[in-house]
Every structure is written in C-alpha cells, then in structure tokens.
Amino acid sequence: MKTLTKAEEQVMQVLWKLKEGFIRDIMDAMPPPRPHQNTIATLLKILIEKEFVGIRIFGRQHQYHPLVSKDSYSKASIRSLVKSYFGGSFSDAVSFMVKENSISVEDLETLLQQLKKGKK
C-alpha cells in the first residue's frame, strides 16, 4: 500500500469520519488551523491519484469518499513501521514500548487476554 504524507493522512482522517463529503464539508471538519480550500483540493487530487479517494460528480460539485478503509491503512502502516524500525519483529516493537514506558504491564496483560479470547 502506498504511504501518505501527514497532510494527506489528515484529510483521510476527516473522510473516514465523514464517510463522504464535498470540499466545504472536509474543510469544516478539519482541525485548526484549517488549510486553504486550494490546498485541500490539491491533497484530494493526490489522494485520488494514489487510489485512496473516489469521486462522484454532481454538476459542478465533487463529492469525495474513501476507497481505502481506516482499518486497512492502519494495519499496513503498523506493519511498515515494525518492518522498518524493528526488523519485522512485533515482539521487539512491544519490548521497545515497554522500555519507553509507552505501554504498561497491565496493558500487556489486557492484550494477552484479548489474544487468548481471539484464538478460541
């Protein structure tokens, strides 16, 4: 899966939340400071080219919708991060988070319980 810039991801976060929207809808849902309408239009054009966003045309209005789910993109991003920084080892990634106090032992125990339930 192609990677997105931070600005592209920000637009995708809004589209995932909205499900679909016109440029004005997307602008209104952006966190401050809001980019200019031309910037959003350019980002949407790039996202269409990257096949992350689809478009429906209603006269002179364009309605945008995500073609890639947030879940699919999240999975691909996490896999890419683990591959790039931890040699593909998820256990090394979790160990790093524990060492950096980013995840607690209690959180790990909760994850283990969820994993055990998922395997049944």
pLDDT above 90 (res 67)? yes
> What stretch(es) of the chain map to CATH 1.10.10.10?
1-88
Which fold does the domain 1-88 belong to in CATH? Arc Repressor Mutant, subunit A (1.10.10)
Six-digit token pair at 93? 């990634």
pTM of the predicted model as reported, rounded to 2 decimal places: 0.81
In percent, how much of the chain has pLDDT > 70?
98
**Dihedral angle at the C-alpha atoms of 35, 40, 42, 47, nearest 10 degrees?**
130
Q: Is the dihedral of CA 3, 7, 8, 9 positive or negative?
A: positive
pLDDT > 80? residue 120: no
Region for 85 from its dihedrals, namely left if φ exceeds 0, alpha if ψ lies in -120 to 50, beta otherwise: alpha
